[in-house]
A and B are shown apart, each in its own frame.
Chain A
């Protein structure tokens, strides 16, 4: 059963064309699609399937294997709370619970206004700053639960 496809923006389509013949291209192309949409919409996967002549099942097999690829649209501001070992020992879990309680969302839910979602991520590689929180590309180190409301509010706009 085919569902609606999307037309890729010109640059994205060019990227796919460029990589089309390279061996082992799928993951690189999926990264580019996620960069475009913030996640990998079903329609985009359909389009890709036709463009590179690969079964949709195979594409989904890869998407769902890797944590990095999302099949659901995330919030405009993605809070990534590090749950690497160093952050866990220094209170990462408390940060996660506090953020969920402030935003009133669980798991991969998005706030009603579409502004926020929370990811518990594995080590972001700045263990010296544990516990670490990222909002988009911005890294906050040595964060305490008390600082969360301020950090979250800062990214509202």
Chain B
């Protein structure tokens, strides 16, 4: 019997932490209890992307889009919608609009998005291969196996103009072509799912929401270059993604879509999962391969490139998750279709993890050429709390900050590079007027110090030196010559480091010095941090004209260093103050002043 209604519950990590699993189980229970279990299919899907408003439940065919759902709401959703056919108005995203305006495409968060990579996320049950197949899944693999030759596949990718989504933007077809032509009968396909950029989670969501798209693409790649073995190198910190991938591999094998003699074509391809262990440098392809071989993940000089000598010295294609997820669609819809999306040199779409001080954080997929302003202000809904936009960091610890005046640049690999940043994996972190650029640069540099593998001196020593200088600036102990020092060390690291970790580690610092030199100088000359983030530079005092002597601050002070009689103005002993900011937070009269 056909279902007349479908309820999609988001099963991404963000919503799962908001108890979406309990919502799912409650919906099942209620559907059973209220006698509609044969009429409503309840499905747990992958990430909808709108993490800010999770957990999310979507009901089809009405397209009701419920946000911030609680487990206890399940009863009402079933009783109202499944039994009586009425929407639960209080859970709709925008309660003020009429029913017809609540479709997903009417929500501004989704309006400018165009989904290729995330096509199935939030639509299908990622643990059921049949749902993937029903959405043209594995049609690309079938087409490749029976209608195309290896070189045709590569030619299609060339027409599509697909470039690597992991960072540098190397043309995918060229990588495949070089590996295909490399001598050797054993070749490997690696899927890089070691998403280490702090603030990016599109690869996790893709695997959690649509694992088969990655597996299908790996098999297509295997066919194109003549490889029978693929590895997915995935972060051990992503248990849900690993589970879904395991299920997907087992199902694909059962259906004859992976393993020996796929669909009777004579082509065999097997995929194995290998776990990372928390090292950012393993996102670098040569380091990743050393790690996959069971060693310390240290990069080696290129050339030879992986296409010639990669995993176990065999020719190897290594692509990241997002790159791969595009490929089945390119095969089924054609390279020309894909090339029409985006800009001339950067075709297709890009997924960004929009986070930080923005109203709608979440996963966003837009055509290349969309402007940063559209992403942050239209899709992202602007800055939280009506604060002023300060900058957006793209490319994580390897990228740079982009400021207000450059927000109208259309996004492409080239344009971001021209702005002193990079595409990177697609982290997009929005900062507002309360964020201190020196503090953020120090944060990124500390990350690079931690993650530097230590093999080459420019990175190992350079990151430490830059961190020390940034640290003393945030403590008011910097000197003006420090800015020139940072720039000099940064340039040396950029030129001389072995891999891109060191080669780009200076970017956040160099780009903030370029755009916010005054802020650095304020720290150095005036010992002032305008945002108050650099604690050592902040002093708290009490304005006697505003203080009514309520004693609340004195009670909350952990030191305690605030004195004063009841109903008399209080005083902070600055010499003992630990700058925790508690007094500032609790004062109801605005009497505590932060300088």
Fill in one digit per residue for B480-504: 1 if any A CB lies within 8 Å of its CB, else 0.
0000000000000000000000000
Q: Is the CB of B51 within 8 A of A128?
A: yes
Shortest C-beta distance, A91 to chain B (Å), equals 11
Q: What's the Cα separation between A138 and B13 when bound, in Å?
A: 10
Shortest C-beta distance, A154 to chain B (Å), equals 14
Whether B322 sits at the interface, judged by CB under 8 Å, is no
Query: Chain B residues with Cβ under 8 A from A62's Cβ?
Result: 294-296
Tell which of A24, A67, A141 touches B277, judged by Cβ atoms closer than 8 Å: A67
Fill in one digit per residue for B269-288: 1 if any A CB lies within 8 Å of its CB, else 0.
00000111111100000000
Q: Is the CB of B196 within 8 A of A139?
A: no
Q: Which residue of A lies closest to B360 (CB)?
A: A128
Q: Is the CB of A66 within 8 A of B13?
A: no
Tell which of A89, A129, A137, A138 touches B51, judged by Cβ atoms closer than 8 Å: A129
Known: A83-B198, A85-B199, A89-B429. Contact between A122 and B294, CB under 8 A? no
Q: Is the CB of A128 within 8 A of B52?
A: yes
Shortest C-beta distance, B246 to chain A (Å), equals 13
Query: Chain A residues with Cβ under 8 A from B361's Cβ?
Result: 86, 127-128, 130
Q: Is the CB of B236 within 8 A of A86?
A: no
Q: Is the CB of A61 within 8 A of B296?
A: yes
Fill in one digit per residue for A119-157: 1 if any B CB lies within 8 Å of its CB, else 0.
001111111111010000111110000000000000000
Shortest C-beta distance, A64 to chain B (Å), equals 9
Query: Chain B residues with Cβ under 8 A from A27's Cβ?
Result: 274-277, 291, 294
Q: What's the Cα separation between A128 and B384 when bound, in Å?
A: 13
Known: A85-B198, A86-B361. Contact between A122 and B291, CB under 8 A? no
Known: A31-B277, A68-B278, A86-B429. Contact between A129 and B14, CB under 8 A? yes
Whether B589 sits at the interface, judged by CB under 8 Å, is no
Query: Chain B residues with Cβ under 8 A from A137's Cβ?
Result: 239
Query: Chain B residues with Cβ under 8 A from A138's Cβ?
Result: 17
Known: A125-B238, A128-B362. Contact between A89 and B18, CB under 8 A? no
Whether B69 sits at the interface, judged by CB under 8 Å, is no
Shortest C-beta distance, A101 to chain B (Å), equals 9
Q: Is the CB of A125 within 8 A of B236?
A: no
Q: What's the Cα separation between A31 and B14 when bound, in Å?
A: 25
Q: Which residue of A lies closest to B12 (CB)?
A: A126
Report which B residues bind A (CB closer than 8 A): 13-14, 16-18, 51-52, 54, 195-201, 204, 236-239, 274-280, 291-297, 312, 353, 355-357, 361-362, 393, 396, 427, 429, 431, 435, 440, 443-444, 447, 453
Report which A residues bind B (CB closer than 8 A): 23-28, 30-31, 61-62, 65-69, 83-86, 88-90, 121-130, 132, 137-141
Can you report 11 A-B residue pairs in the complex whose CB atoms are below 8 A from each other?
Answer: A66-B276, A66-B278, A67-B277, A86-B429, A122-B447, A123-B201, A124-B13, A125-B195, A126-B51, A127-B355, A141-B18
